[in-house]
Structure 1
Amino acid sequence: MSLLHRALPALLLSSLLACGPSDPEDCSRYGITLSPPPATARHLTCTSTACGDGQNPPTSGDHCGDTLRCRVHDTEQNRCVWLHNLEHGHAVFLYNCPEGCPELVATLESLRQEAKTGGNGVIRAIVAPDSRIPTRVAGLLWRRSWGADAPDANAIRCLLQHQDAEAPEPELACLP
Protein backbone atom coordinates (compact mmCIF):
# COMPACT_ATOMS: atom_id res chain seq x y z
CA MET A 1 0.00 0.00 0.00
CA SER A 2 1.41 3.40 -0.96
CA LEU A 3 2.11 6.16 1.51
CA LEU A 4 -0.70 8.23 -0.01
CA HIS A 5 -3.26 5.44 0.52
CA ARG A 6 -2.19 5.06 4.16
CA ALA A 7 -2.26 8.81 4.79
CA LEU A 8 -5.56 9.51 2.98
CA PRO A 9 -7.91 8.53 5.87
CA ALA A 10 -6.02 10.81 8.29
CA LEU A 11 -6.07 13.67 5.78
CA LEU A 12 -9.81 13.29 5.24
CA LEU A 13 -10.49 13.15 8.98
CA SER A 14 -8.39 16.24 9.69
CA SER A 15 -10.16 18.21 6.96
CA LEU A 16 -13.56 17.24 8.39
CA LEU A 17 -12.53 18.22 11.90
CA ALA A 18 -11.25 21.59 10.66
CA CYS A 19 -14.77 22.45 9.47
CA GLY A 20 -16.56 21.37 12.62
CA PRO A 21 -18.23 23.43 15.30
CA SER A 22 -14.89 24.23 16.95
CA ASP A 23 -14.01 26.35 13.90
CA PRO A 24 -16.82 28.93 13.55
CA GLU A 25 -17.39 30.34 10.12
CA ASP A 26 -16.32 33.86 9.15
CA CYS A 27 -19.65 35.71 9.22
CA SER A 28 -18.49 38.94 7.59
CA ARG A 29 -20.36 38.05 4.39
CA TYR A 30 -23.59 38.53 6.37
CA GLY A 31 -22.53 41.95 7.64
CA ILE A 32 -21.76 40.63 11.12
CA THR A 33 -19.17 42.87 12.71
CA LEU A 34 -16.73 42.32 15.56
CA SER A 35 -16.14 45.46 17.61
CA PRO A 36 -12.87 46.18 19.39
CA PRO A 37 -12.64 45.20 23.07
CA PRO A 38 -14.27 47.81 25.33
CA ALA A 39 -12.16 50.21 27.36
CA THR A 40 -14.11 49.15 30.46
CA ALA A 41 -16.86 46.67 31.32
CA ARG A 42 -17.79 47.73 34.84
CA HIS A 43 -21.03 47.09 36.69
CA LEU A 44 -23.13 50.24 37.02
CA THR A 45 -26.36 50.93 38.85
CA CYS A 46 -29.31 49.83 36.76
CA THR A 47 -30.60 53.40 36.62
CA SER A 48 -27.48 54.57 34.80
CA THR A 49 -27.77 55.62 31.17
CA ALA A 50 -23.98 55.70 30.70
CA CYS A 51 -23.73 52.10 29.58
CA GLY A 52 -22.39 50.47 26.45
CA ASP A 53 -19.59 50.99 23.99
CA GLY A 54 -21.05 53.88 21.98
CA GLN A 55 -22.41 51.54 19.27
CA ASN A 56 -26.08 51.39 18.38
CA PRO A 57 -26.99 48.86 19.54
CA PRO A 58 -24.21 48.43 22.09
CA THR A 59 -22.37 45.11 22.20
CA SER A 60 -20.03 45.58 25.15
CA GLY A 61 -18.87 48.09 27.73
CA ASP A 62 -20.13 49.20 31.13
CA HIS A 63 -23.44 47.59 32.10
CA CYS A 64 -25.92 46.95 34.89
CA GLY A 65 -25.16 44.39 37.58
CA ASP A 66 -28.46 42.58 36.88
CA THR A 67 -29.37 40.34 33.94
CA LEU A 68 -32.63 39.69 32.13
CA ARG A 69 -34.45 36.38 32.08
CA CYS A 70 -33.77 34.49 28.85
CA ARG A 71 -37.12 34.50 27.11
CA VAL A 72 -39.21 36.53 24.69
CA HIS A 73 -40.03 39.95 26.16
CA ASP A 74 -42.90 41.99 24.74
CA THR A 75 -41.78 45.32 26.23
CA GLU A 76 -38.60 47.28 25.66
CA GLN A 77 -35.88 46.31 28.13
CA ASN A 78 -33.10 48.37 29.71
CA ARG A 79 -30.04 48.16 27.46
CA CYS A 80 -27.72 48.29 30.46
CA VAL A 81 -29.32 45.10 31.75
CA TRP A 82 -29.19 43.02 28.56
CA LEU A 83 -25.57 44.12 28.05
CA HIS A 84 -24.80 42.06 31.16
CA ASN A 85 -26.49 39.09 29.46
CA LEU A 86 -24.12 39.57 26.52
CA GLU A 87 -21.16 39.49 28.92
CA HIS A 88 -22.37 36.05 30.06
CA GLY A 89 -22.41 34.76 26.49
CA HIS A 90 -26.16 35.09 25.98
CA ALA A 91 -27.55 36.12 22.59
CA VAL A 92 -29.90 39.10 22.29
CA PHE A 93 -32.28 39.51 19.35
CA LEU A 94 -33.91 42.91 19.03
CA TYR A 95 -36.66 44.23 16.80
CA ASN A 96 -37.95 47.72 16.04
CA CYS A 97 -41.47 47.76 14.67
CA PRO A 98 -43.72 50.24 16.48
CA GLU A 99 -46.68 49.17 14.32
CA GLY A 100 -46.24 45.56 15.43
CA CYS A 101 -44.67 42.68 13.54
CA PRO A 102 -45.86 39.33 14.91
CA GLU A 103 -44.34 37.35 11.99
CA LEU A 104 -40.90 38.89 12.56
CA VAL A 105 -41.10 38.23 16.30
CA ALA A 106 -42.17 34.63 15.63
CA THR A 107 -39.16 34.17 13.33
CA LEU A 108 -36.78 35.56 15.97
CA GLU A 109 -38.43 33.38 18.62
CA SER A 110 -37.91 30.33 16.41
CA LEU A 111 -34.24 31.20 15.77
CA ARG A 112 -33.78 31.87 19.50
CA GLN A 113 -34.41 28.14 20.00
CA GLU A 114 -31.10 27.48 18.19
CA ALA A 115 -28.99 29.35 20.77
CA LYS A 116 -26.92 27.39 23.29
CA THR A 117 -28.60 26.00 26.38
CA GLY A 118 -27.31 26.60 29.89
CA GLY A 119 -26.62 23.94 32.50
CA ASN A 120 -30.13 24.56 33.86
CA GLY A 121 -31.72 23.69 30.49
CA VAL A 122 -32.69 27.29 29.66
CA ILE A 123 -31.96 28.60 26.16
CA ARG A 124 -29.39 31.38 26.58
CA ALA A 125 -31.03 34.01 24.36
CA ILE A 126 -33.42 36.93 24.63
CA VAL A 127 -35.87 38.46 22.16
CA ALA A 128 -37.07 42.00 22.91
CA PRO A 129 -38.24 45.19 21.21
CA ASP A 130 -35.82 48.13 21.04
CA SER A 131 -37.04 51.39 19.50
CA ARG A 132 -33.51 52.81 19.21
CA ILE A 133 -31.91 50.27 16.85
CA PRO A 134 -31.33 51.73 13.37
CA THR A 135 -32.62 48.62 11.59
CA ARG A 136 -35.81 46.62 11.97
CA VAL A 137 -33.98 43.63 13.50
CA ALA A 138 -30.61 43.04 15.20
CA GLY A 139 -28.72 40.07 16.59
CA LEU A 140 -26.08 40.60 19.27
CA LEU A 141 -23.37 38.76 21.11
CA TRP A 142 -20.61 40.31 23.23
CA ARG A 143 -18.67 42.49 20.71
CA ARG A 144 -20.59 41.07 17.71
CA SER A 145 -23.58 42.59 15.93
CA TRP A 146 -25.75 42.09 12.91
CA GLY A 147 -28.66 44.19 11.71
CA ALA A 148 -31.07 44.21 8.78
CA ASP A 149 -34.62 45.10 7.82
CA ALA A 150 -35.71 41.46 7.90
CA PRO A 151 -34.51 38.37 9.77
CA ASP A 152 -31.92 36.31 7.90
CA ALA A 153 -31.81 32.79 9.33
CA ASN A 154 -28.38 32.08 7.85
CA ALA A 155 -26.89 35.26 9.31
CA ILE A 156 -28.36 34.57 12.74
CA ARG A 157 -27.18 30.96 12.67
CA CYS A 158 -23.69 32.14 11.73
CA LEU A 159 -23.78 34.66 14.57
CA LEU A 160 -24.81 31.90 17.01
CA GLN A 161 -21.74 29.87 16.01
CA HIS A 162 -19.76 32.54 17.89
CA GLN A 163 -21.84 32.45 21.06
CA ASP A 164 -19.46 32.65 24.06
CA ALA A 165 -16.41 33.36 21.83
CA GLU A 166 -15.50 36.83 23.15
CA ALA A 167 -17.73 36.90 26.23
CA PRO A 168 -15.74 37.70 29.39
CA GLU A 169 -17.95 35.33 31.43
CA PRO A 170 -18.97 32.72 28.85
CA GLU A 171 -21.35 29.78 29.19
CA LEU A 172 -23.23 31.10 32.21
CA ALA A 173 -26.78 29.84 32.65
CA CYS A 174 -29.73 32.17 32.41
CA LEU A 175 -32.95 32.32 34.40
CA PRO A 176 -36.11 31.41 32.45
Structure 2
Amino acid sequence: MPPLHRAALPALLLAPLLACSSTEPDCSRYQLQLSPPPESSTHVACTSATCGDGMNPPTSGYHCSSTLSCKTYDTEQNRCVWLHNLEHGHAVFLYNCPEGCPDIVASLEALRQEAAIGGNGGIRAIVAPDSQLPNRVAALLWRRAWVSDTVDPDAVRCLLNRQDDEAPEPYLSCPP
Protein backbone atom coordinates (compact mmCIF):
# COMPACT_ATOMS: atom_id res chain seq x y z
CA MET A 1 0.00 0.00 0.00
CA PRO A 2 1.45 3.41 -0.91
CA PRO A 3 2.30 5.72 2.04
CA LEU A 4 -0.52 8.16 1.24
CA HIS A 5 -3.13 5.40 1.54
CA ARG A 6 -1.68 4.16 4.85
CA ALA A 7 -2.00 7.69 6.29
CA ALA A 8 -5.63 7.91 5.23
CA LEU A 9 -6.57 4.53 6.76
CA PRO A 10 -6.84 5.75 10.41
CA ALA A 11 -9.05 8.65 9.33
CA LEU A 12 -11.31 6.30 7.40
CA LEU A 13 -11.59 3.98 10.42
CA LEU A 14 -12.47 6.90 12.72
CA ALA A 15 -15.04 8.45 10.38
CA PRO A 16 -17.97 6.22 11.46
CA LEU A 17 -17.25 6.98 15.12
CA LEU A 18 -17.13 10.70 14.49
CA ALA A 19 -20.37 10.52 12.52
CA CYS A 20 -22.09 9.11 15.60
CA SER A 21 -21.27 12.12 17.73
CA SER A 22 -24.13 14.57 17.76
CA THR A 23 -25.17 17.89 19.15
CA GLU A 24 -28.68 16.49 19.69
CA PRO A 25 -29.80 16.60 23.33
CA ASP A 26 -29.74 13.41 25.40
CA CYS A 27 -33.49 12.73 25.40
CA SER A 28 -33.30 9.93 27.96
CA ARG A 29 -32.95 12.50 30.74
CA TYR A 30 -36.36 14.11 30.12
CA GLN A 31 -39.69 12.91 31.46
CA LEU A 32 -41.47 12.55 28.12
CA GLN A 33 -44.72 10.89 29.10
CA LEU A 34 -46.26 8.31 26.77
CA SER A 35 -49.89 7.57 27.52
CA PRO A 36 -51.49 4.23 26.63
CA PRO A 37 -53.35 3.94 23.34
CA PRO A 38 -56.77 5.59 23.69
CA GLU A 39 -59.90 3.48 23.99
CA SER A 40 -61.28 5.56 21.16
CA SER A 41 -60.29 8.50 19.02
CA THR A 42 -63.82 9.08 17.80
CA HIS A 43 -65.12 12.51 16.82
CA VAL A 44 -67.56 14.07 19.29
CA ALA A 45 -69.39 17.38 19.50
CA CYS A 46 -66.96 20.18 20.31
CA THR A 47 -69.03 20.97 23.40
CA SER A 48 -68.71 17.41 24.73
CA ALA A 49 -67.46 16.84 28.25
CA THR A 50 -66.05 13.45 27.18
CA CYS A 51 -63.23 15.04 25.24
CA GLY A 52 -59.73 13.60 25.71
CA ASP A 53 -58.18 10.62 27.45
CA GLY A 54 -58.69 11.64 31.08
CA MET A 55 -55.13 12.98 31.40
CA ASN A 56 -54.29 16.60 32.13
CA PRO A 57 -53.33 17.74 29.63
CA PRO A 58 -54.99 15.22 27.31
CA THR A 59 -52.90 13.76 24.50
CA SER A 60 -55.40 11.48 22.75
CA GLY A 61 -58.96 10.22 22.88
CA TYR A 62 -62.30 11.66 21.87
CA HIS A 63 -62.02 14.96 19.98
CA CYS A 64 -63.85 17.36 17.65
CA SER A 65 -64.04 16.86 13.92
CA SER A 66 -62.50 20.29 13.27
CA THR A 67 -58.90 21.43 13.76
CA LEU A 68 -57.23 24.74 14.54
CA SER A 69 -55.00 26.74 12.25
CA CYS A 70 -51.38 26.25 13.23
CA LYS A 71 -50.30 29.55 14.74
CA THR A 72 -49.88 31.31 18.09
CA TYR A 73 -53.11 32.18 19.92
CA ASP A 74 -53.47 34.70 22.73
CA THR A 75 -56.80 33.24 23.88
CA GLU A 76 -57.55 29.80 25.25
CA GLN A 77 -58.60 27.27 22.60
CA ASN A 78 -61.03 24.38 22.92
CA ARG A 79 -59.13 21.25 24.00
CA CYS A 80 -61.41 19.05 21.90
CA VAL A 81 -60.31 20.94 18.80
CA TRP A 82 -56.53 20.93 19.36
CA LEU A 83 -56.73 17.22 20.23
CA HIS A 84 -57.68 16.68 16.59
CA ASN A 85 -54.54 18.61 15.62
CA LEU A 86 -52.53 16.14 17.72
CA GLU A 87 -54.14 13.25 15.83
CA HIS A 88 -52.76 14.79 12.61
CA GLY A 89 -49.21 14.85 14.00
CA HIS A 90 -49.24 18.54 14.92
CA ALA A 91 -47.45 19.75 18.05
CA VAL A 92 -49.34 21.79 20.65
CA PHE A 93 -47.48 24.05 23.08
CA LEU A 94 -49.53 25.30 26.01
CA TYR A 95 -48.92 27.70 28.87
CA ASN A 96 -50.81 28.60 32.04
CA CYS A 97 -49.85 32.08 33.19
CA PRO A 98 -52.87 34.05 34.46
CA GLU A 99 -50.57 36.94 35.41
CA GLY A 100 -48.90 36.87 31.98
CA CYS A 101 -45.55 35.38 30.98
CA PRO A 102 -44.22 36.98 27.79
CA ASP A 103 -40.86 35.20 28.21
CA ILE A 104 -42.51 31.76 28.21
CA VAL A 105 -44.73 32.66 25.25
CA ALA A 106 -41.72 33.96 23.29
CA SER A 107 -39.78 30.76 24.03
CA LEU A 108 -42.69 28.58 22.91
CA GLU A 109 -43.14 30.67 19.77
CA ALA A 110 -39.45 30.21 18.95
CA LEU A 111 -39.73 26.44 19.48
CA ARG A 112 -42.87 26.35 17.32
CA GLN A 113 -40.64 27.50 14.45
CA GLU A 114 -38.69 24.25 14.86
CA ALA A 115 -41.72 21.97 14.38
CA ALA A 116 -42.21 19.95 11.21
CA ILE A 117 -43.36 21.76 8.09
CA GLY A 118 -46.44 20.53 6.21
CA GLY A 119 -46.76 20.01 2.48
CA ASN A 120 -48.38 23.45 2.27
CA GLY A 121 -45.32 25.09 3.83
CA GLY A 122 -47.09 25.75 7.15
CA ILE A 123 -45.47 25.02 10.50
CA ARG A 124 -47.34 22.10 12.07
CA ALA A 125 -47.59 23.48 15.61
CA ILE A 126 -49.83 25.60 17.83
CA VAL A 127 -49.07 27.81 20.84
CA ALA A 128 -51.99 28.71 23.13
CA PRO A 129 -52.85 29.48 26.74
CA ASP A 130 -54.63 26.75 28.75
CA SER A 131 -55.95 27.58 32.22
CA GLN A 132 -56.50 23.90 33.03
CA LEU A 133 -52.80 22.96 32.92
CA PRO A 134 -51.45 21.72 36.26
CA ASN A 135 -48.07 23.30 35.40
CA ARG A 136 -47.05 26.47 33.59
CA VAL A 137 -45.89 24.78 30.36
CA ALA A 138 -46.76 21.72 28.29
CA ALA A 139 -45.55 20.45 24.94
CA LEU A 140 -47.80 17.80 23.41
CA LEU A 141 -47.96 15.29 20.60
CA TRP A 142 -50.48 12.50 20.13
CA ARG A 143 -50.00 10.24 23.21
CA ARG A 144 -46.89 12.20 24.29
CA ALA A 145 -46.46 15.04 26.76
CA TRP A 146 -43.76 17.02 28.47
CA VAL A 147 -44.89 19.32 31.31
CA SER A 148 -42.90 21.69 33.49
CA ASP A 149 -42.97 25.06 35.16
CA THR A 150 -40.23 26.41 32.88
CA VAL A 151 -39.46 26.05 29.20
CA ASP A 152 -36.59 23.66 28.48
CA PRO A 153 -35.79 23.97 24.76
CA ASP A 154 -33.87 20.67 24.70
CA ALA A 155 -36.80 18.77 26.22
CA VAL A 156 -39.19 20.28 23.68
CA ARG A 157 -36.80 19.45 20.85
CA CYS A 158 -36.66 15.85 22.09
CA LEU A 159 -40.43 15.75 21.91
CA LEU A 160 -40.42 17.29 18.43
CA ASN A 161 -38.05 14.52 17.29
CA ARG A 162 -41.04 12.16 17.77
CA GLN A 163 -43.60 14.47 16.13
CA ASP A 164 -45.43 11.95 13.94
CA ASP A 165 -44.48 8.71 15.73
CA GLU A 166 -47.79 7.81 17.38
CA ALA A 167 -50.22 9.99 15.41
CA PRO A 168 -53.03 8.01 13.75
CA GLU A 169 -53.05 10.47 10.81
CA PRO A 170 -49.40 11.63 10.69
CA TYR A 171 -47.76 14.22 8.43
CA LEU A 172 -50.96 16.10 7.62
CA SER A 173 -50.59 19.76 6.73
CA CYS A 174 -52.08 22.38 8.96
CA PRO A 175 -53.63 25.59 7.72
CA PRO A 176 -51.45 28.53 8.81
Give TM class, smaller chain: 0.7 to 0.9
Q: Percent identity?
A: 65
| 1:25 to 1:152, Cα distance in 2 relative to 1, 3 A | closer
Distance apart, 1:61 and its partner CA: 0.6
The residue aligned with 2:129 is: 129
Query: Residue by residue, what CA displacement relative to the aligned partner does 1:104-144 show, whole Å, maximum 9, x if unpaired?
Result: 10110001000000000100000000000110000000000
- Tell me, yes or no, if the aligned pair for 2:95 and 2:105 is still in contact at 8 Å: yes
Q: 1:22-171 counterparts in 2 under 5 A?
A: 27-171=27-171
- Tell me, yes or no, if the aligned pair for 2:25 and 2:154 is still in contact at 8 Å: no
Report the Cα distance in structure 2 between the residues aligned to 1:158 and 1:19, rounded to whole angstroms. Answer: 16
Report the Cα distance in structure 2 between the residues aligned to 1:52 and 1:132, rounded to whole angstroms. Answer: 13
Query: Residue by residue, what CA displacement relative to the aligned partner does 1:127-164 show, whole Å, maximum 9, x if unpaired?
Result: 00000011000000000000111100000011000000
Aligned length: 168
The residue aligned with 2:4 is: none
Report the Cα distance in structure 2 between the residues aligned to 1:104 and 1:25, rounded to whole angstroms. Answer: 20
- Tell me, yes or no, if the aligned pair for 2:70 and 2:124 is still in contact at 8 Å: yes
Gaps of 5+ in 1: none
- Tell me, yes or no, if the aligned pair for 2:68 and 2:82 is still in contact at 8 Å: yes
Gaps of 5+ in 2: 2-7
Considering only CA atoms, is the larger Rg found in Structure 1 or Structure 2? 2
Q: Output the amino acid matched with 2:168.
A: P
Distance apart, 1:11 and its partner CA: 8.9
Q: Output the amino acid matched with 2:52.
A: G
Normalized against structure 1, the TM-score is what? 0.87
Q: Secondary structure at the match of 1:39?
A: coil
Q: Output the amino acid matched with 1:159.
A: L
Structure 1 range deviating more: 28-37 or 143-152: 28-37
Query: Residue by residue, what CA displacement relative to the aligned partner does 1:80-127 show, whole Å, maximum 9, x if unpaired?
Result: 000000000000000000001111101100010000000001000000
Report the Cα distance in structure 1 between the residues aligned to 2:14 and 2:142, rounded to whole angstroms. Answer: 35
Distance apart, 1:30 and its partner CA: 1.2
Report the Cα distance in structure 2 between the residues aligned to 1:126 and 1:80, rounded to whole angstroms. Answer: 14
| 1:79 to 1:44, Cα distance in 2 relative to 1, 3 A | same
Distance apart, 1:72 and its partner CA: 0.2
| 1:135 to 1:157, Cα distance in 2 relative to 1, 3 A | same
Q: Secondary structure at the match of 1:83?
A: helix
